[in-house]
Structure 1
Amino acid sequence: MSNLAVLSLKNRALIALITIVAAVFGGLALTSLKQELIPSIEFPQLVVVSTYPGASPEVVSNDVSVPIESAIQGVPGLESTSATSTTNASIIQASFTYGTNLATAEQKINQAINRIKSQLPDGVEPNVISASIDDFPVIQLAVTGYDDEETIQAQLESTVVPELEDVPGVNAAQIVGGVGQRVTITPDPEALADAGYTQQAIRDALDQNGVLFPGGEITEDDQTLTVQTGSKIATVDEIAALPLVPSTAGQLRAGEVTIADVATVEQNEDPVTTISRVDGEPALTIAVTKLPSANTVDVSRGVLAVLPDLEDSLGGATFTVVFDQAPYIQQSIESLAQEGLLGLFFAVLVILVFLLSVRATLVTAISIPTSVLITFIGIQAFGYSLNILTLGALTIAIGRVVDDSIVVIENIKRHYVGDADKMQSILRAVREVASAITASTVTTVAVFLPIAFVGDVTGELFRPFALTVTIAMTASLFVALTIVPVLAYWFLRPGKPLLDADGRQVDPEAPEAPPSRLQKSYLPILRWTLKHSWVTLLLAVLVLAGTVAAAPFMKTNFLGDSGQNTFTMTQEIGAAPSLEAEDAASEQVEEILLGIDGIQTVQVSIGSSGSALRDAFTGGGSGTTYSITTDPDADQVALREEVQSAVGELDDAGTFTVAGGGGGFGSSDIEIDVTAPDSSTLEEATDAVVDAVTGAEGIGQVSSNLSASLPYIAVTVDRDKAASLGLSEVAVGALVSNTMQPQRIGTVEIDDTTLTVYLAASQTPATLDELKQLTVPSATGPIPLEEVATVEESEGPTSITTEGGQRTATVTVTPSTDDLTTASASVNTALAEADLPDSADAALGGVISQQQDAFTQLGLALLAAILIVYIVMVATFKSLRQPLLLLVSVPFAATGAILLQIITGVPLGVASLIGVLMLIGIVVTNAIVLVDLVNQYRTKGLTAHDATVAGGSRRLRPILMTALATIFALTPMALGITGHGGFISQPLAIVVIGGLVSSTVLTLLVLPTLYNLVEGAKERRATRRRGDADAAPGALEPVLVGAGAAGAGGAALTRRELRAREAAAAAASGAAVATAADADVPTIDEGPDVEMPEETSAAVVVDDEYMEPESASEDAAGTAEDDPEEPEPAPADAPTDTVGGEAEDADASHPSDSDVTGDSGVEENGEGDAEAEHDDGEDVEDVEGGDPDGAAHAEAEHEDGAGETAAAADAPRDDEDPEDDGETAAEVDGGAEGEGAAEPTHDEPGADHEESQDRTDGWTGDEHSDRPE
């Protein structure tokens, strides 16, 4: 990934242009994104709605619901069905598995219904409706202040509704609560009898007239004309003039008879079934829905813009906005945007405090808006909208997108000091951290992959959230590796170099570099934890155990309360109340509601709305519904509690149920599903559940859809008596039905309005006694109804619900607390103690069931995310063991998240679990950056302890910067400063903040302790095994002389290294000459019959300047570059890279005041570290006599003057096989483990010295400059 930085720095102008273009297109995408409250969700559900006027719940269930529910069971993808039968209506909800094509499913359901349509009652027309968020009204208007309802309704239908539907984005505008028109034909029984006709003749006359038939075409005089037969009926008078067709001799003798001769025909109003008021005034309501692709805010603005002109045309009537999604959406988006900007300010402030550089801070801060604008392009490309989920993801991402840039700019600032070359300093800095930030970004976004497989509403809601975070984090990585280096090249100035005690410039990355003040405060704590490893781990485990013990005290919920400033309340005043009684009861409630501070508008709807779908969901159209709009800044939860308390004090006002708004996502009601084989058992079990749950701890309201019985008049036909009179049960039932309610016999179009034609009885019984005296024709003559049937008042359920054909009842429990866990525990306890019939059962449903399903799926997603993170880290570290150490941070990170949620009282819900999922990727980010640097130090020869100390201190600042920047960026959101749209974003922010606090402490203290324990133990095992091998009797140390001596030293080698060295020596045709002049040890030939090249003296590095050696042997020796014909053999373990196809070697340097016997190692580009190490620790006699104490040390220094001492032992590598642990040639000096880099010791004269080397890279810059690593 560092190649991106190389490419960017070579094409700086192009990168700047791309950045500007991306920002412009991001801004354009932002302005074109549609704004919604939540993402558009198409639920995998279809609803079959049927209207059966005048039918009781029992009749609707038997004649409509059961046949339809049975017919659709074979539809592919069907998961479950639920049927609710109420007075006049049937609603069947069919739920499908996620991923089912609803268009195809709808076709299958219609086909299944058509197959059994002949079994359904006449006039029942099932309608299949799909459920979507877009089906809810965007804005709802009330028209008040009119004198004549019929006139104002006509004006609304003719002018207002068409104008509203012409607004861009509007799907439909529908008048709710208006009085409709119908055509009623009322036969005169005596006139019909005199003419010899029945009511069927009137039906036939209407069916056989007013029909248009195509008659083909006629071509005449070069003109083709279509033939049309028939004419439409356009007026009521035309209906009255329709002739009755005679079919008997008596009818023929009666002559021409029209409908008007035997019946009255008139256009009149539909019966009043509903009353609507707004703030106490009669009102008509217009509900406006939008197209799926339309912008909610734009639709609302468009509707509101045309209202003034429309209001002027109504002659004094006024519009009142009862409900409008747009203001809440705008407030939520603006609030999240404000919180995001505050977070941006705090994050930039944290960076400035740590870097103390305005230029570096601005370079870093630019990454935030750039990444966000690029994210807007991605959101638009994937077809998502700007809603509280995507904007919340952006707000949370603000704290994370800056992390990569912080790590890069902090490393650049550390390297670009003094007179260092700017280009190479930037490249070296980026190359050091490129792999680490790439791995950390991949882990952060990879955790969201399981979200793609989470079903139910949770997956639908949070997939846009996951995609938004993924795009933002990917964009931030791109910005950090391309734009930040370019901006650093243009704007950064070199910092002050770091000097040691002698005033020499020191590489800040060097272990011996003096610590900063921040590091000085951290190092004592780190050393203490490393020294007391088990105590540290024990404390960490105790904290984890304490957190687990405190977890039960944490509240839980599903999605939380949206805080929207609208809610509803229903009122039930008894079984089957009259419309007048409900109207009178609602007036006193309206008065109380309008007197409560914080309530702006109260709309009341009484009785049936005329919509079968709404009637089915509200209990058959009975009851009173209040839609309450409040002050947006009011405490919505407290206001609802105040309303509940106020109406609860009313006498004889019935029962009230208060529900939250927000499209059902804010509901916290617990539903108890009660099942039983028959109605009586079901009623008994339901009553037992209600009694058991009422009064339980944490429980507020308890209601049941079987709690009230619906009184009705039952007409039971005596079959034997009816048969003796020439009647049947069906004939008697049809007579009663036709008499009691008008029969729908057709439709006509009058004045461009389709009206339904009804056939009504001339006289309708108004009381029970009149019904008993209803005249029934029989074989013996007219008789009263009571002679063939029993007519009496009875009771039945208000609704009948079945699931999969089995009768069920629902007990709805409204918790009195926001802790769903406490409420559900109380309900479970109550159910366990309830005395249910043996054949009945009760189980939790509703929000509890949704919560359990969501928690289960998200739990699996968390496990999958951990596995994905582990795989990414294995690929990064090439190790199976080290990623396990990093994964230990996950449960410890959860401690902070849980504790902060307990402290703040924010419940654990779906949003919190998404935060935990995100936290898994976040907590390992800093750990990756830390462990990556520690591993780099170990490859340079440091022990695990020293590498841990050095790495921890060097990564302290970037770790604190990234953590604090994220924490402060999320603080405004966690505090809910603006108070809107936080029901999802606030729990997310709290979880991430708490987890980051604990994970940062873990990364800086517990993780180094674990790393040192594991890796240090591995080193100690290797040392003991090597010591055992060295102590074997008669063992002699072989000595390699000549070219191979530089790579041997006194260290033991693994079999792998020995084989590699032998192969390399043979390939180079080098020779090892055995000599024993100064030591009584055996000699080993490296390559027989090959003449050894003469030894070369090492170049000397002093204060970043290369000085040629003064030895007389310099001219004779030469180098591999001077004499390519005779290359100097390199040690077998010294890696050599090529640049431009040729090997590039450089000599390792020695201190100018001493020389060491033996060949010098090979240092590439002046960065290699050479150090002679000897087992016995004795001084080497300087052959030049330069060091009287014989304590000279061979040491390779970096170009910037920072001499880096490296242990001669190869540091253990994580990718080595476990069985090779004991064979690693790690040399730990004399028990001083962990106190710093091992100082070079010297063996006897003639001993070998091992020079450590760094690999060259492909950089082709100045050969005396630092290479990017």
Structure 2
Amino acid sequence: MRLSETSVKRPVTVLMIVLIVVILGFVSFSRLPLDLMPEMELPYAVVSTSYSGAGPQEIENLVTKPIEQVLSTVQGLENIQSISSEGNSIVFLELDFGVDMDQAALDIREKIDMVKGYFPDGVGAPMVFKANMDMMPMMALSLSSDNLTLSELQKLAEDTVQPRLERTQGVASVSISGGIQDIIEIRTKSEKLAGYGLSLDYLANILRAENVSLPGGTVKKGSQELAVKTTGEFESLAEIKQMLIPLPTGGTIQLQDLADIELKADEQSTISKANGNPAISISLQKRSDSNTVQVSDAVHKELAKIEQELGEVTITPIYDNADYIKKALSSTAENGIVGAILAILILYIFLHNVRSTLIIATSIPISIIATFCLLYFFDITINMMTLGGLMLGLGRLVDDSVVVLENIYRFRQEGYSRFEAAVKGSSEVIVAVMAATLTTVAVFLPIVFVQGLTSTLFKQFALTIAFSLGASLVVSMTVVPMLSSKMLKVDRRQESTEETRKRGFFRTPTFVIKAQDKFDAAYQALLHKYRGLLKSALNHRRRVVVITTVILLVSLLSIGVVGAEFIPAADEGVITISVTLPDGSHVRSTEEIMDKIESNIADIPEIDTVFLDAGSGGMMSLGASQGNVGSFYVNLLPLNERKRGVAEVADEIRDRVVDIPGAKISVLSSQTMMSMGDPISIIIKGDDLDTLKEIGDDFVEIISGIPGT
């Protein structure tokens, strides 16, 4: 083809283009975001609403049903489900794939605004979440101290730690839980209120009106116009006590004469502990367009400064998604590098030519670097899927170049000059190489056009393979012929003496020559046996067809035995324990159960740190607090410092906590988005809750006897 001929005739142009691609590739690689999984916009939304003190029935009638009714008209709605529990309403919406979730979230908020004005007093503002990877905090921390109280820690976290972390580049939000808030409690004296003809609502309205700051207009001062603000917020406890209350009969009276007023710690709705010590829980969410690893590094730098400045405070990482991303990507990249090196060594063993091997070895990084350019311009991140696609494509990257080089080498052996061999050899096979590459691309590319979760998850995987193979095809058509015309040298071993094989810059060491001779002898013997086997197969075609058919059928039947799963489990070194007590249980009761669990697992040697959060469903609790639930985050020692995997440790934890009464306890050994949730769920529908509970208990009894549950 003319492209190969042009590349051979204009080597400087090809080198300049390669240099530009390499520079663009390195720049693109430095700017590509690093993440665990591709950014996925799943067609799911969640509406979470809190109503403290209300029971499940009240929540359902007063909050959940009105929200469900108004959201039933959301465009593209496929399914709607809800959970009404004590103090919380959670509504799950499933929409059609392909729906613009930003527009859907806006539509959901607008419809909720239509009904939230009818909610009873005390109902919190409904929060709308889009289901994506950014819902899960990228990092969780614990703040503890031997000298400060929880209320002091809470104030320190809110006034110092939270603002500084929120200013860190890439951080979207920082939330705090587990501390104690100081409140001012006003206990009115009912007999005095009755004597003065006052009511609680009257006092509450006055307090609300007095504790406010309002704009006061503007004042002109020369050429300037200054804004005026009236400050009326309470600044001290004494100010509240001395506040004057107008009386219906005339005159005023101080609030402290009508009520007992004191500053006290509020009752904890969530309790956090780090390794058994009281702590504050801090979770961070990153912006969707930011690099997880870079954000994590920036946060850790800021945390080191904060810890150094505060001195008496200890900040302990509970969970950092960047750690697993670094390990996973580093492992994948190392495997890819090892694979490339092995491919080059195997090529040298078969080609017996250092120059030929160098040509192929040069084509591999050029193809990979060009792939990074395409990933950047197509707004694709570096994640497990793209790296997996790149590693899968790596095994195919060298094929095109090897076929072209081998044909050029054959023409050189036939006596053609380097230039002629490069042009004729590449032109003769390039159509076949192109057909083979495009056929491989055609296998993966249709995934891009598939609808649903498969496309969302594997689209970048397929595109990365297509990009890498496309880059290798172009390299084999341009760079390989150009380098062959300059570097390729035929090694006529049958005409060479030992001195000839040792001559020149690319001389071959003696021990390598001897190893090559042994390999060639073994290869020729294997080739001889293969020829005999091939002749036998051609002479017994029916038998070959029957044997092949039997092997195919056995392979198909073995699929059911092998089993299947969506995403394989990985050893992330994190175990989560979920604890659920009966509805209505106080957070202190949950804490007692969790303390028992922690004491039962404390002596497991693989455990590094244990963090518990009572009164919260954990990282994915959607901001809702429930006194009857809690979660553990158990961090294990690094993999090279422990003898057992995370699954084995999780099994031992299950055995140790299974007999603890009064709570439902579940143990999970993975934290990735694909592994969260129950592998199998059974939904029982009906109108009578008591009947449903009986049927559910029967199901639990039956399923608990199945091995593996």
Deviation track 1:26-45 (CA, whole Å, cap 9, x = no partner) reads 22322332222222323322
Give the Cα separation in 1 of the matches to 2:304 and 2:113: 47
Contact 1:273 1:610 (8 Å CA) reproduced: no
The structure-2 alpha-carbon separation of the partners of 1:640 and 1:434, relative to structure 1 and needing over 3 Å to count, comes to same
Would you say 1:684 and 2:684 are equivalent positions?
no
Q: For the residues of structure 1 that align with 2:302 and 2:620, how far apart are their CA atoms?
A: 31
Structure 1 residues 351, 222: closer, same or farther in 2, change over 3 A? closer
Q: Deviations over 1:919-969 (max 9, x none)?
A: xxxxxxxxxxxxxxxxxxxxxxxxxxxxxxxxxxxxxxxxxxxxxxxxxxx
CA distance in 2, matches of 1:463, 1:168: 29
Is 1:606 equivalent to 2:636 in the alignment? no
Q: Give CA-to-partner distance per residue, 1:805-848, whole Å, 9 cap, x none.
A: xxxxxxxxxxxxxxxxxxxxxxxxxxxxxxxxxxxxxxxxxxxx
The equivalent residue for 2:294 is 298
Tell me how far 1:611 sits from its aligned partner: 9.9
Residues 24/136 of structure 1: CA separation in 2 closer, same or farther (3 Å cut)? same
**Superposition pairs of residues 282-293 of structure 1, within 5 angstroms:** 282-293=278-289
Q: Call closer, same or farther: CA 1:691–1:472 in 2, change over 3 Å.
A: same
Larger displacement relative to structure 2 (630-639 or 6-15) = 630-639
Corresponding residue for residue 630 of structure 1:
636
Matched AA of 2:590: E
Higher relative contact order (CA 8 A, sep 6+): 2
Corresponding residue SS for 2:441? helix
* Separation (CA, whole Å) in 2 of partners of 1:311 and 1:444: 54
**What is residue 915 of structure 1 aligned with on the other side?**
none
Alpha carbons of 1:274 and 1:230: their partners in 2 closer, same or farther (altered >3 Å)?
A: closer
Residue matched to 1:116: 115
Aligned to 2:552: 544
Q: What's the counterpart of residue 399 of structure 1? A: 395
Q: Choose 628-637 or 571-580, whichever is displaced more.
A: 571-580
1:656 equivalent in alignment to 2:665: yes
Q: Which residue of 2 aligns with 1:419?
A: 415
3-state DSSP of counterpart to 2:336 = helix
1:167 and 2:175 aligned: no
What SS class does the counterpart of residue 621 from structure 1 fall into? strand
Who is 1:191 aligned against?
Answer: 192
2:499 corresponds to: none
Counterpart of 2:514?
none
Task: Name the CA shift for 1:692/1:346 in 2 (closer, same or farther; >3 Å).
Answer: same
Match of 1:462 in 2: 458
Which structure 2 residues correspond to residues 334-733 of structure 1 after superposition, within 5 A? 334-494=330-490, 496=492, 520-572=528-580, 576-608=584-616, 613-614=621-622, 620-633=626-639, 634-648=644-658, 650=659, 652=661, 654-667=663-676, 669-696=679-706, 698-700=707-709
Q: Secondary structure at the match of 2:649?
A: helix
Q: Is the 2:50–2:126 Cα contact (8 Å) retained in structure 1? A: yes
Change (3 A) 1:663 1:672: same
Q: 1:614 to 1:211 in 2, by over 3 A?
A: closer
Counterpart of 1:400, as a letter, is R
Aligned letter for 2:309?
S
TM-score (norm 2): 0.89
Q: In structure 2, what is the equivalent of residue 1061 of structure 1? A: none
Q: Distance in 2 between matches of 1:420 and 1:611?
A: 69
For residues 998-1147 of structure 1, the aligned pairs below 5 Å read none
> How far apart in 2 are the matches of 1:326 and 1:221?
56
State the SS of the aligned residue for 2:89.
Answer: strand
Match of 1:330 in 2: 326
Structure 2 vs 1, CA of residues 161 and 223 (structure 1 numbering), >3 Å: closer, same or farther?
closer
* Aligned-partner residue type, residue 126 of structure 2: P
Tell me the amino acid that sits aligned with residue 291 of structure 1.
Answer: R
Distance in 1, Cα, partners of 2:629 & 2:252: 50
Q: What is the match of residue 49 of structure 1?
A: 48
Give how far 1:517 is off.
7.5
Answering whether residue 161 of structure 2 is matched by residue 151 of structure 1, we say: no
Q: What is the identity, as a one-letter code, of the residue corresponding to 1:681?
A: T
Name the aligned partner's letter for residue 688 of structure 2.
Answer: D
Which residue identity does 2:627 align to in structure 1? G
Check 1:291–1:222 CA distance in 2 against 1; reply closer, same or farther (3 A cut): closer
Kept in 1, the 8 Å contact 2:48–2:622? The answer is no
Letter in structure 2 aligned against 1:565: G
For the residues of structure 2 that align with 1:601 and 1:230, how far apart are their CA atoms?
47
Deviation at 1:691, TM superposition (A): 2.6
Per-residue deviation, residues 700-747 of structure 1 (Å, max 9, x unmatched): 2xxxxxxxxxxxxxxxxxxxxxxxxxxxxxxxxxxxxxxxxxxxxxxx
Letter in 2 for 1:179: I
Please name the residue that 2:516 is paired with. Answer: none
Report if aligned partners of 1:375, 1:472 keep a CA contact under 8 Å in 2.
yes
Amino acid of the residue matched to residue 571 of structure 1?
A: V
Separation of aligned partners in 1, 2:361 and 2:618 = 58
Post-superposition CA distance 1:566-591 (Å, at most 9, x none): 12112345564444443333333223
For residues 931-942 of structure 1, the aligned pairs below 5 Å read: none
Higher helix share: 2
Residue type matched to 2:319 in 1? Answer: F
CA distance in 1, matches of 2:184, 2:688: 43
Q: State the distance in 2 between where 1:574 and 1:74 align.
A: 35
Percent identical pairs in the alignment equals 30
* Matches for 1:687-1086 after TM superposition, within 5 Å: 687-696=697-706, 698-700=707-709
Preserved CA contact (<8 Å) 1:660 1:666: no
Q: Which structure has the larger Rg?
A: 1
Shift of 1:263: 2.8
Where does residue 252 of structure 1 map in the other structure? 249
In the alignment, the residues of structure 1 paired with residue 618 and residue 16 of structure 2 have an alpha-carbon distance, to the nearest angstrom, of 61
CA contact (8 A) 2:448 2:455 kept: yes
Q: Does structure 2 retain, via aligned residues, the 8 Å contact 1:419–1:494? A: no
Q: CA deviation at 1:261?
A: 3.7
Residues 614/269 of structure 1: CA separation in 2 closer, same or farther (3 Å cut): farther
1:12-53 alpha-carbon deviations (Å, 9 max, x no partner): 111112212222322232233222222232332222111111
The residue identity in structure 2 corresponding to 1:443 is T
| CA offset digits 1:140-171 (Å, max 9, x no partner) | 22122333222232222222222222332222
Aligned to 2:310, what secondary structure does the other structure show? coil
Cα drift, residue 274 of structure 1 = 2.6
Which amino acid counterpart does residue 58 of structure 1 have in structure 2?
Q
User: Residues 596-627 of structure 1, C-alpha deviation per residue, up to 9 Å, x if partnerless?
Assistant: 121111111223489994475x8x33133211
Q: Counterpart in 2 of 1:134?
A: 134
Give the whole-Å Cα distance in 2 for the aligned partners of 1:605 and 1:224.
52
Q: Give the C-alpha shift of residue 389 in structure 1.
A: 1.5
The 1:311/1:208 distance shift into structure 2, 3 A limit, reads closer
- Displacement of 1:364 after TM fit? 1.4
1:418–1:495 Cα contact (<8 Å) kept: no
SS at match of 1:494: coil
Q: Which residue of 2 aligns with 1:204?
A: 205
Q: State the Cα distance separating 1:218 from its structure 2 match.
A: 6.1
CA contact (8 A) 1:562 1:666 kept: no
* SS of alignment partner, residue 104 of structure 1: helix
Aligned residues between the structures:
675
Mapped to 1, the partners of 2:51 and 2:389 lie a distance apart of: 48
Partners of 1:202 and 1:385 in 2: how far apart?
Answer: 57
After the TM superposition, which of the residue ranges 574-583 and 27-36 deviates more from structure 2?
A: 574-583
Say if 2:418 and 2:488, in contact at 8 Å, map to a contact too.
no
Between 39-48 and 430-439, the greater mean CA deviation after superposition: 39-48
Specify the alignment match of 1:822 in structure 2: none
1:498 positional shift: 11
* Deviation sequence 1:428-467 (CA, Å, 0-9, x none): 2212211111111111112223222334433222211111
The alpha-carbon deviation at position 133 of structure 1 amounts to 1.3
- Is the CA contact 2:34–2:293 (under 8 Å) kept in the aligned structure 1? yes
Are residues 656 and 204 of structure 1, via their aligned partners in 2, closer, same or farther at CA, if it must alter by over 3 Å? Answer: closer
* d(CA) in 1 for partners of 2:169, 2:227: 38
Q: C-alpha deviations, 1:237-281, integer Å up to 9, x for none?
A: 4444554455xxxx225x224544423444432212232211121
**Alpha-carbon contact 1:139-1:323 (below 8 Å) kept:** yes
Q: 1:181 corresponds to which residue?
A: 182
